Structures are given as C-alpha cells and as structure tokens.
Amino acid sequence: MNAFLTISEAKSLDSSDPLRSYREMFHIPKWNKQDCIYLTGNSLGLQPKGAKKAVLQELEDWKVLGVEGHFKAKNPWMPYHEFFSKSIARLCGSLPEEVVSMGSLTANLHFAFASFYRPTKDRQMILCEKKAFPSDRYAIVSQLELHGYGENELIEVAGSDKSGVPDDDEILKAIEKYGDQISVLLIGGVNYFTGRLYDIKKITEAAKIKGINVGWDLAHAMGNTPLSLNKWNVDFAAWCTYKYLNAGPGSTAGLFIHKKHHEKNLPKYAGWWGHNKSSRFKMGTRFDPIKTAEAWQVSNAPVLSMASLRASLDIFDLVPFEQLRNKSLLLSNKLIQMLDDIKNKTGEEIEIITPREDSKRGGQVSVHFVNRDRVFFEKISNLGVFADWREPGTIRMAIAPLYNSFEDISRLEKVIYESLEK
Ligand SMILES: *Cc1c(COP(=O)(O)O)cnc(C)c1O
C-alpha cells in the first residue's frame, strides 16, 4: 500500500503548522498508550488542561468565602457571566452586549421563541430545514402548539440531494415562496448531519426583506466557522459550548440578541438576572429589563459549570480566528482527499456527503461507506478512532483545529486500510 499521507509527511506538515502548540493545551484520551485519533469534537470537545484549575478555583473560593464569594471571589460570582461576553462576541461577530452566557441550547431557543415567535393571523409559519437536529424540531413544534398551531404551520425545506438536507438555493426559494406567511426562520448554521455550512448572510438578508424574524442554531458553527451576526443583521442565535468550544459536558450555552431589539422591551420569559442591576436587590415587584442581551438571562450564573468554559475561551482568545479556520479547512481537505484516494485505490464505495467547496462546509466530514455496516465502524473504533456513527451508515468525523493534526489523518488512513481488509 502506497500511503496518501505518510507519517513523516504528516509530521513535516504539523511542524510548519502555526497552531501546532495548541494541542498541548488539551488532554487527549489514550489508546494503547498513545494518543487516540479524536474526531468527535463536534459532539464533545476535549478538556482544556486549564479546566480543572478553573473549576477548583471556584470550589476553593466557595470553601473559604461562602456567600461572600459573590463579591470577593477571585472572579466574583455576581457579575460572573460578564467575564465571557467579550470572548464570545469575538467568536460570533457581535457586540459584547449582544451575547449572554446562560442556560442550555434548546432552552435558549425557547427563550428566543418567546420573544420572536409572535404569530398573527397572516403570519404564523416557522421555517426550518429538513433533517434539522431533532431537539430543534421538537422545540419548534412545541412552540407552534403553545400558540394553538401545529405541524401544519411548519415549513420544513427539503433538499433534493441524497442527504435530504437543503442547500442555500432551496432555502432561498422557500423564503421567496412562503415569506409573507413566515414569522420565524430557524436553521442550523452548520448542519449536524452533513456538515453543510449555510450562507447565513445571504439567507438572513432574503428573510429580512420578507419581514421574517431570523434565528440561527450555531451548535456546529461556534468556534468552527467565521461569524458576523451583528453585521449580518441576524435577530437571534443560540449555541452550546460543549462541542467545538470544548467547555465540557452540558456546559453553559449562549444566546445572541441583536442590538436593534435591546430597547424594544420585547415580551420575554423574565427573571431577576435580567433585571436592571442597580435596582435588582431592591427586590421590587416590577421587572425592569437590562437594555442588553442580558435581559433574557433569568437566573444567576452556574459558576461551577461556567468555570471550564472560561478555561476554554482563554485558549480561543489567543488564536486569530482566520488561522483556526485555515487549519480546519486544510485538515478536512486532507481528510477528504485521503478518503478519495482510498476509494480510487481499492474500489471501495465511499461517498462523501459533505459539500466539497470550502465555503459550504464547517470542519466536519460525513462519509458513507456504502458496502459496510456498523461492524466496520466498530473496527475503526477498536483501533483508537473516535468518530460518530449515524444510522443508516454515515460516519461523521470532525476536525477541531486546536488539537487535531495531520498525523491524526495519516494514522486514520492506516486504520481504515486495516479495517477494510479484515
Ligand atoms: C448539539 C445540538 C443540540 C443539543 O441541544 P442541548 O440543548 O445542548 O442538549 C441542539 N441542536 C443542535 C443543532 C445541535 O447540534
């Protein structure tokens, strides 16, 4: 076998990678005493080495200071969520006052819908993409039902390609056709299944012309693809932080609300942490919302779970985002070419369902080994590869450029050959 990417070639590519040192900042799970090939950063990002210290800091302050930690902790808990806004804003292209670290992704979608899904007689529809992440669809349908509607008011744009996931044009056509009846559009910026990246700017623009409230689920986009939510005029967005943002299982999510909505006093689910800070502790009866995205925050910050997010953002803060995106594309292109090469050399039927153009994908490569089943997936798993299996036969592999390397791709190639042979 002539390797497409030999270990020595891979090592040489790694040594000229400007981001090579970042891998050292993460714990890489081991397999057979060596690093495993971790390609599930789209599901749970790896632990930053600083996470433990960050969590222990808060435990220590709680131990020593008790309630006074709200003001006297090294990172005071009272404004704790504010320590995240700048870093998050940079990643999503917003103003710091347009984002708030809170809650969980699906819950935040509901919070946003409370404000942005205000159906009228003429406009009750919600538009999403076919093959949306199930939780998003559940959330959308339940919102319709809360307002006395149901699946009849859901426009799910289907894709004509095999994956069933629509492309930009198919979404734009649906906006053109149904736009006047649509109240809210919610789409996953990067599709979790195929890894397709949408033209968020163009779709938002078209939907805004039709008077639609535009929301994006950025679970697979934050920390992965370049975003400019403020400039693109997106109304709201939500994301989780345990995927590409490496903040740990169930870590605190985020919500973006465009600045143009901050003064409007939109209806919302209110709570005391969204109340004017100067009078919050007067414990008054009337809700006086903060004039930023923080108005949507209902509760005080879950400090222990947010500490690991801080450790992760400390790493992101150091990296120019273009470098991150460049490396992600370099590695995922290598992965695609490597799979093509195996297909050409062996005749194995390998279908890549992720769009090939750089501008149409995140860092994930979804691949269908047409004549293989779960046994093949288990073989590669048993040889130290973390990937993700989705019925009926798609393997998702994600590049997380902070810790993945060319060596990972080279070693993966060897594992795939070995597993095909058996
Ligand atoms: C990962 C993911 C979720 C998960 O939702 P949680 O509320 O964080 O459990 C939801 N939507 C999309 C698109 C996802 O990729």
Please report the pLDDT score of residue 422 as a whole number: 67
Half-sphere exposure of 349 (CA within 13 A, CB side): 7
Please report the pLDDT score of residue 392 as a whole number: 81
**Proportion of the chain above pLDDT 90, given as a percent:** 96
| Model pLDDT for residues 175-214, shown as the tens digit of each residue | 999 999 999 999 999 999 999 999 999 999 999 999 999 9
For residue 105, report the distance from its CA to the centre of ligand 1, in Å: 6
Instruction: Give the contacts of 238 (CB within 8 A, at least 6 positions apart).
Output: 105, 108, 109, 112, 215, 217, 218, 253, 254, 255, 256
For ligand 1, atom 2, name the residue with the nearest CA: 219
Phi-psi region of 420 (alpha: psi -120 to 50; beta: other; left: phi over 0): alpha
Statement: residue 2 has pLDDT above 80: no
For residue 76, report the distance from its CA to the centre of ligand 1, in Å: 29
Dihedral of alpha carbons 164, 169, 170, 175, sign: positive
Atom of ligand 1 nearest to the CA of 107: 7
Q: Residue 104: CB within 6 Å of ligand 1?
A: yes
For residue 104, report the distance from its CA to the centre of ligand 1, in Å: 8
Q: Are 355 and 190 in contact (CB under 8 A)?
A: no
Statement: residue 372 has pLDDT above 80: yes
Give the type of residue at 228.
Answer: S
Pocket test for ligand 1, best of 42, 44, 106 (most atoms within 8 A of CB): 106
Atom of ligand 1 nearest to the CA of 250: 8
Q: Read out DSSP for 250-284?
A: T---EEEE-GGGTTS-------GGGB-TTTGGGT-
Q: Which CATH number does 53-316 carry?
A: 3.40.640.10
Q: Are 90 and 82 in contact (CB under 8 A)?
A: no
Q: Residue 217: CB within 6 Å of ligand 1?
A: yes
Q: Are 317 and 391 in contact (CB under 8 A)?
A: no
Please report the pLDDT score of residue 120 as a whole number: 96
* Sole residue written with tokens 């270990």: 7
For residue 248, report the distance from its CA to the centre of ligand 1, in Å: 14
Exposure string of 243-252, with b = 16+ CB inside 10 Å and e = fewer, is bbbbbbeebb
Pocket test for ligand 1, best of 104, 105, 255 (most atoms within 8 A of CB): 105
How far is 237 from 385, CA to CA, in rounded Å? Answer: 32
Q: Residue 219: CB within 6 Å of ligand 1?
A: yes
How far is 174 from 198, CA to CA, in rounded Å? Answer: 15
Please report the pLDDT score of residue 283 as a whole number: 84
Q: Residue 185: CB within 6 Å of ligand 1?
A: no
Statement: residue 398 has pLDDT above 90: yes
Question: What is the CATH architecture assignment of 7-48+320-421?
Answer: Alpha-Beta Complex (3.90)
Confidence band, pLDDT 50/70/90 cuts, at residue 282: confident
Confidence band, pLDDT 50/70/90 cuts, at residue 1: low
Rg (Cα) of the chain, in Å, rounded? 22
For residue 409, report the distance from its CA to the centre of ligand 1, in Å: 27
Q: Residue 133: CB within 6 Å of ligand 1?
A: yes
Atom of ligand 1 nearest to the CA of 188: 13
For the chain, residues classed under CATH 3.90.1150.10 are 7-48+320-421
Confidence band, pLDDT 50/70/90 cuts, at residue 337: very high
Atom of ligand 1 nearest to the CA of 253: 8
For ligand 1, atom 15, name the residue with the nearest CA: 219
Q: Are 417 and 1 in contact (CB under 8 A)?
A: yes
Please report the pLDDT score of residue 281 as a whole number: 86
For the chain, residues classed under CATH 3.40.640.10 are 53-316
For residue 62, give Cα distances in angstroms to 59, 101, 190, 312.
Answer: 5, 21, 39, 22
How far is 378 from 123, CA to CA, in rounded Å? Answer: 48
| Model pLDDT for residues 67-100, shown as the tens digit of each residue | 999 999 999 999 999 999 999 999 999 999 999 9
Q: Residue 276: CB within 6 Å of ligand 1?
A: no
Q: Residue 220: CB within 6 Å of ligand 1?
A: yes
